[in-house]
Amino acid sequence: MKKNLGLLLLLILACAVTYSLNDRFLAPVNIENVLRRTALFALISIGAAFVITSGGIDLSIGSMVCLVGTLLPWLTTSHGWAWLPSILLLLFVAALLGASHGLLITKLHLQPFIVTLCGLLLYRGITRGLTGDQTQGFGLEFESLRSIALTKISFGGLLPFAIPSVAFITVIVALIASFTLNRTRYGLYLRALGRNEVASRYSGINTDLIKLIAYVICATLAGASGILFILDVNSAQPSDFGNFYELYAIAAAVLGGCSLRGGEASIAGVLLGAALMQVLRNAIVLLDIPTQLEFAIIGGVILIGVSAEEIVRKTARRVIA
Amino acid sequence: MTNLLEATAISKSFGTHQVLSDVSLTLRQGEIVSLIGENGAGKSTLAKILCGIVQPDTGTLTLNGNSLTFSHPREALAAGIGIVHQELSLAENLTIAENFLLGHEPTRFGALDRKTMVSRTREGLARLGLSLDPHRLVATLSTGQRQMVEIARALACQTQLLIFDEPTSSLSEEDSKILLQLVKSLKNQGIAILYVSHRLAEVQEISDRIVALRDGRNSGEAIAPNITRENLIAMIVGREFSDMYGYTPRSHGPEALRIQNFQASEHHTPTSFAVRRGEIVGIAGLVGSGRSELLESIFGVHPPLMGSLWINGSEIRGVSPEVAWDNGLALVPESRKEQGIILESSIRENIILSDRERKSPLSLRDFAAERAQSDSSVESLRIRCTSGEQLTKHLSGGNQQKVVISRCLATNPSILLLDEPTRGVDVGARREIYSILFQLAQQGMAILFVSSELEEVLGIADRVLVMSDGAITGDLSREEASEHAIMSLASPHHKVAA
């Protein structure tokens, strides 16, 4: 947790600055909005953290969100499928695609960057082809299904704002992920192989299987959050739904202390990283900053965050030595 | 004659590890001085200080009476001190000429002057009697040729002192001979040579003077022709040869490991042998004779082409490291940092990594059991550390090696394979490792190890297998095994033409 102190301070600073310039930042409806967006993006970031810990990368997250997210209304609304088999099928497909990434990387020894870059192009292209590039949505149907993502739970007088249901989903997933990384042999193996794959193999770890599972987790979480995203926004265009989401996910993971060299992960850090990014996006809207500048601001803050982290670490090392 | 180079009272420490304390060394023009000592005695560090790669903490360097301080190897090179490294340092994907002038390429109007590069390279190679095409990629050269290119490069400046750091460790016997000839001819050109090696025969052959280091201090100096091999060893280890190891004979039990008609790769000849419980078997041979590959193949890192593997009387099929661990095999790999240890992980996490009882990814970690395991390993193998939570990258080579051995022992193996068990391990830890191995054998473990250090093989093995060119060319009992017997079996030409 000590590792994430800098990130926590940066997050508090961003909130404080935004609030001081526009007090609507702490309006209940805005807090709920930021929480919901954070929860949704945190889900894909947790998946990315697993892959990054293995020393790999997944660039296909955004396209996976699009594939699962737009094909759900395409199956249900346009093709009359029931929602449960549709969701199960799409999650299964996502897991299968994740497994195929893992197989190509471990058995054919292709580089994760290349494999998942092809995934990025393929899944978006396939989705656009299947849907004829038409906007997909639920219209006025599936109200009860959509409430999974839209419900808010208010704690009466205890909190001035309500907590969106997706935040609970994310907290549960984060707890499971954190438990897996820290308390199971899987987490031990994943970290070990991210730090030294050869030595891990010599130690008797089935490194191929451990890596493959990481890609399955990442793709499945991307698919699951694709479902929650589409339930949240109701309709989406296959051409831009989920664009750049993989970069948000990777950025949140890296901000949260995952090293792209592999072997390091902190789920708490990933949550903070995802929150920082959503606060920034929210600030851009609230502070009337031209939205064209959104990427520039997010890019700049990430750069400052990781630089500050590195400087702090170097100074700490010098003080110790 | 005055001294060309004087290094006086050099000290250097890395972290808390004192590598050199108060070491002095002199060299005259046209003199070959050999620097000998165990691994970890500080030879390479001293060589690196002389050529500016490492800066000493205290001490002075003078060349021709002028005091020197280097902050970069480039400055040492400019002063006339060159080095030929132990690990060849040429870029494989560049041509000879590009490597030759790397870092000081001639330019014309800001662009590379390839013509001058090629002609200067050709001249440099010709000085050593080499006629290699400067346009050839280094990747296409043999190890011996690469070394020659490296030497030519080190001589490209007005070199007065040339340092060789273990130059023959990766050369074939013939290439080694050529190299020694070359070293002598450089001496005749008036160049001073510092020859770092632990091949004592070579050292005796070419040196004018021999300087020994032990545990980072000067431990002796001798004029070459008058010194015997025993004296040299005494200078290196500081005690009689035999008490370094403390071997006592043991009785051996039934066969623990057997390989039958086992072919590790296409460079290997199918071979059969067995190791019994309580027996320590050493595999000797030259670098490149296929010893490590054989060991790794037994361990399942590379599946064998043919043959069978038997452990405690039952045949093991479909080997992989996982299967090997499951069947009571454990390996301490050759390259500690790449294959052995996870530097960014703690001692505890390294030691429990191969735990067979909790090997399923789904099983939960038992931190109390992990700590108990790592504490008991730290204690019984005397791993010097602040606690089991210390990252292994902060440990010395010897203690890292003990961590790797601990990981093996934590799985209760019946057979322990070790590849270069004491490479890069200091003398003290080395003796501890030997006594651990003896103790394990006493308890009935079968031990099979590969070592490039003949003294080590002779010192601890009950039986010695000699490998040459992928084939086992000898199986010597402890009584039959001698340096001479092993070397003659290990030389490639010994192999009967098949």
How many residue pairs from chains A and B have C-beta atoms closer than 8 A?
A: 77
According to DSSP, the residues that pair with B193 across neighbouring strands are B32, B162
Whole-angstrom distance, CA of residue A16 vs CA of residue A25 = 9
Query: pLDDT at position B497, please?
Result: 37
Tokens 């660039």 sit on residue: A59
Which residues of chain A are within 8 Å of residue B331 when distances are taken between CB atoms?
Answer: 202
Which residues, at least 6 apart from B259, have a Cβ–Cβ distance to it below 8 Å? B271, B272, B273, B274, B298, B307, B308, B309, B310
Name the nearest CA neighbour of A230 among A201, A238, B194: A238
Q: Which residues of B32-59 are buried (b: 16+ CB within 10 A; e: fewer)?
A: bbbbbbbbbbbbbbbbbbbbbbbebeeb
Is pLDDT of A317 > 80?
Answer: no
Q: Write out pLDDT tens, residues B75-95.
A: 888 888 988 876 667 888 888
Residues A198, A203, A206, A207: is their CA dihedral positive or negative? Answer: negative
Q: Average of pLDDT values for B394-423?
A: 92
Query: pLDDT at position B494, please?
Result: 43
Which residues of chain A are within 8 Å of residue B345 when distances are taken between CB atoms?
Answer: 191-192, 195
Highest mean pLDDT among A117-121, A306-310, B51-55, B177-181: A117-121
Q: Write out pLDDT tens, residues B437-484.
A: 999 999 999 999 999 888 889 999 999 999 988 999 999 999 999 888
Residues B222, B224, B227, B232: is their CA dihedral positive or negative? Answer: positive
Q: Which of the four pLDDT bands, split at 50, 70 and 90, describes residue B495?
A: very low
Residue in chain B closest to A193 (alpha carbons) equals: B342
Dihedral pair phi/psi, residue B270, rounded to 5° = -55, 140
Q: Write out pLDDT tens, residues A55-73.
A: 999 999 999 999 999 999 9
Q: At CB < 8 Å, which residues of chain B contact A?
A: 299, 301, 321-322, 324-326, 331, 333, 338-345, 349, 352-354, 356, 358-365, 407
Query: pLDDT at position B182, please?
Result: 87
Which residues of chain A are within 8 Å of residue B363 when distances are taken between CB atoms?
Answer: 184-185
Is pLDDT of B370 > 70?
Answer: yes
Is pLDDT of A22 > 80?
Answer: yes
Whole-angstrom distance, CA of residue B416 vs CA of residue B41 = 27
**Nearest-neighbour CA in chain B from A225: distance (Å):** 25
Q: Write out pLDDT tens, residues B265-313.
A: 998 999 999 999 999 999 998 777 889 999 999 999 999 999 999 999 9
A117-121, B227-231, B291-295, B371-375, range with the lowest pLDDT = B227-231
- What are the start-end ranges of the E strands in A144-222? 152-153, 163-164
* More confident: B434 or A301: B434
Which residues of chain A are within 8 Å of residue B340 when distances are taken between CB atoms?
Answer: 199, 202
Q: Write out pLDDT tens, residues A69-104.
A: 999 999 999 999 999 999 999 999 999 999 999 999
Query: Would the CB atoms of B340 and A209 count as touching at under 8 Å?
Result: no
A185-194, A298-307, B341-350, B401-410, range with the lowest pLDDT = A298-307
Query: pLDDT at position B498, please?
Result: 36
DSSP state of A188: H
Tokens of B251: 């009785």
Q: Write out pLDDT tens, residues B439-450.
A: 999 999 999 999
| DSSP track, A32-77 | HHHHHHHHHHHHHHHHHHHHHHTT-----HHHHHHHHHHHHHIIII
Name the nearest CA neighbour of A75 among A123, A145, A139, A131: A131
What is the interface pTM, i.e. ipTM, of the complex?
0.89
This prediction's pTM: 0.79
Query: Would the CB atoms of B359 and A196 count as touching at under 8 Å?
Result: no
Query: pLDDT at position B46, please?
Result: 92
Highest mean pLDDT among B197-211, B316-330, B418-432: B316-330
Q: Write out pLDDT tens, residues A251-271.
A: 999 989 888 888 989 999 999
Query: Would the CB atoms of A204 and B324 count as touching at under 8 Å?
Result: yes
Query: Would the CB atoms of A204 and B364 count as touching at under 8 Å?
Result: no
Query: pLDDT at position A283, please?
Result: 93
A111-115, B47-51, B226-230, B402-406, range with the lowest pLDDT = B226-230
Query: pLDDT at position B438, please?
Result: 95
Q: Write out pLDDT tens, residues B10-20.
A: 999 887 778 89
Q: Write out pLDDT tens, residues A215-246.
A: 999 999 999 999 999 999 999 999 999 999 99
